[in-house]
Amino acid sequence: MTTKVDLAGPLRTSHLRAAHDPITVVVGPQVRERVAAGRAFLAKVLGDDRAVYGNTTGFGALVGYAGRADQRDQADNTLAHLGAGHGPDVDPGVVRATMLVRVWSLAQGSSGVSPHVIDALAAMLATTFVPAMPRLGSVGASGDLIPLAAAAQALRGRGYAYLDGTRMPAADALRLAGLEPLPLDGRDALALVNGTSLTTAATALALERVRTSHRVLQQLTCLLADLLGCDPQFLDPGLIGRYRHRGPIDVASAMRAVLHGAVPSGLRPLQEPYSIRCSPQLLGAAEDALRFVDGVVEADLGSVSDNPLFFPDDDRVVHGGNFFGQPAAFAADVLTMVIAQIGNLAERQLDLLVDPVRNGGLPPMLAAGPGQQHGLQGVQLASTALVTEIRRDAVPASMQSLPTNLHNQDVIPLGTQAALRALDQAGLLRLLAGSLALGLRQAVHVGARTPTAPGCTAMLDALAAAIPPVDPDRPLAADVRRAAEIMEGLSFL
């Protein structure tokens, strides 16, 4: 069933995820009325000879110069110089999510765009058409100008686009999709590029992926504790309650539910390593951080990111900085920190599990025949590489401001870099979770006790039903991905 997104209602991350495939964007009477009112007001303002950035002026540092008199030429004036992006194309699913964020913002009626722009974006999202958007070029200030300009040009039939996953000239993709090239004037063109929609979309999608892995690692920590026979007192409600932080209290409660019925073996040390004993504090602190990001994403998805904004009821054109992506920049950097520390936890838990000194006497690397076989040795090695990759990119982007544009943009947030990086790293975190899940499945095969908590039994049963034991050795990359997929499904139950 095709997802419907009503532009008169709230925009949610689930809509962005659904936009990976064709969706129905509903442009109802309420939306049409406010967009038409904004457009009529723009015509009035220009008729009054008022100065309007991007309509009567040049762009950025050249705002002090007059723009082109013909508004159709002014669209070219807006977009041509922004054709300077580099690097690989942004993932098509992220691009389509970006375009949904952009049309929702424009549909609020504060941007003065032509109604046909809203209709064209809605029509595009109903097909498999995807503008080819370069990854490099935005600084997250004055909008994601260069990536969004490439999208606007593709909608005009210039540059490149994807259709059904195939990259081709945009004019061909439009024709094959049954879409017409989009006519734009200066305000339409500027409104399409002058917002941080790529930053918002990437941050929202990254948050969703990290939240899923966060739930998975709570469950896998419980399964690890049960297989090793740990005493679950590290989750004691009285203990955690005295910690006072809301996230750890809630995470510990969820973990106690998974471990309910677990019976300690009595063979473990009085105090477990921090990767088990302090897991509710670590994962709980991550929960608190993710709640901050939740709020930023919710606000961003409900915001109008553009400049200037038009207020017909008050007869005002207001120039300002709603295209400045600082909130998402901070939020995406917080996501990166959460990813790095949760990734550290998963890698350390796997290391504990494969170490015969700490895993209760299971064979090294969980190999069914050590020496003749190597079990999880390759997976553990790859996990170290994944954590290193995450750490290498963990320097915050949001404080790397560099003046540009003749000091018109003298401070910049770099949220686009932060958001896309967080989205990349979320994929690596998923692989770390899958690696740990595979190790837990293998542990029972080589001598770990079967789970004693029903919640843990259900997890292991699902993993064992889909993934055979590593005996003899085999390539395990696909099994890591499969284990991650299985756990993600269980995390929503």
Q: Any bridge partners for residue 309, and if so which?
A: 318
| Cβ–Cβ < 8 Å for 377, 367 | yes
Q: Name, in order, each residue with C-beta under 8 angstroms of 363's C-beta and a sequence gap of 6 or more.
A: 356, 370, 375, 446, 447
Here the tokens at position 47 are 């008729």
Active site residues: 53
- The residues facing 6 across adjacent strands are 26
| Torsions phi, psi for 195 (to 5 deg) | -150, 160
Q: Where are the beta strands (DSSP E) in 126-283?
A: 130-131, 134-136, 160-163, 166-169
How many residues in the chain? 493
Match 């929503």 to its residue by tokens: 492
| H or E segment and range at residue 316 | strand 316-318
DSSP 169-196: EHHHHHHHHT-------HHHHHHHHSS-
Q: Among positive and negative, which fits the CA dihedral 334, 339, 342, 347?
A: negative
In the structure encoding, which two tokens stand for residue 58, read together?
Answer: 């040049």
Relative to beta strand 4-6, strand 24-26 is parallel
